[in-house]
Amino acid sequence: MEAHLYEAHERLEDTHWWFEGRRRLIDRVMSANLRPREARRILDVGCGTGGMFPLLQRFGSVDGAEYSADARERAARRFPSANIGPCALPNELPAGTWDVVTAFDVIEHVDDPEGSLATMRARLVADGQVVVTVPAFQFLWSRHDEVNQHKRRYTRHLLEGQLVRAGFRVQFCSYFNSILFPAVAGVRAAQRLVKALDRGAGSDLDELNPVLNAALTTLFSLESKVVPNRPLPFGVSLIAVAERA
């Protein structure tokens, strides 16, 4: 991810509709799918500026792993009690330590996603679980993906296949951000038709009018009541929960 985006994430991730809607959905999916566990230990891989820590701390104690020194410093300022290691994919961290490893919009950035998932698997206890989110559908590729240094976007089949080949058993997988999918697909199609528009665009994350931001948050959040019980067939993103096989 380009360095200037960490500042934007730190500034926006507590209030922006996309972050807030995603948090609400992840909260419901984790509540429905994580095994009951006392003193649950969680490792948030690619934790960025720590925006997911407050949510994850409701499920257990949280450690972070992040390769960007800038992001780690920002996360440490916001969450001084958090243990944040200087790595993106924790090869050097102790194996068999965490009950849950999370990777929120991380593996689309790496060249070897199956190897990265296998590394996460090795950090888990014997019956540990991983929670992963990724962007969906290659035809939605845009300047936003380039600025964020994505390698790919996913289908459900591709994500589930990578998890299985990395040694996981998939428990739950669903698309999400489905209500806004038609609007996003329309914008992406327009950007491809008018290439100058796409070249001039950067990250999709920007401050919005508060009324519009609240409306989009409400729309996105409606899915959190559905997805844990009924996986959706399409969407802008994907979420999966898998257990160590």
Q: Any idea what the Cα angle at residue 234 is, between residues 231 and 238, rounded to 5°? A: 70
pLDDT tens for residues 42-93? 999 999 999 999 999 999 999 999 988 999 999 999 999 889 988 755 567 8
Q: Is 233 exposed, middle or buried (0-12, 13-18, 19+ CB in 10 A)?
A: exposed
pTM over 0.95: no
CA-CA distance, 112 to 133, in Å (whole number)?
A: 16
Q: Are 90 and 64 in contact (CB under 8 A)?
A: no
Give me the domain span that covers residue 68.
4-244
Q: How many domains does the chain have?
A: 1
Please say if the pLDDT value at position 223 is more than 80: yes
Q: What CATH number is associated with residue 152? A: 3.40.50.150
pLDDT value of residue 198: 47
**Nearest to residue 137, comparing CAs of 99, 189, 64, 202?**
189
Residue-wise pLDDT for 114-139, tens only, equals: 999 999 999 999 999 999 999 999 99
Mean pLDDT of the chain: 91
pLDDT tens for 91-120 read: 678 889 999 999 999 999 999 999 999 999
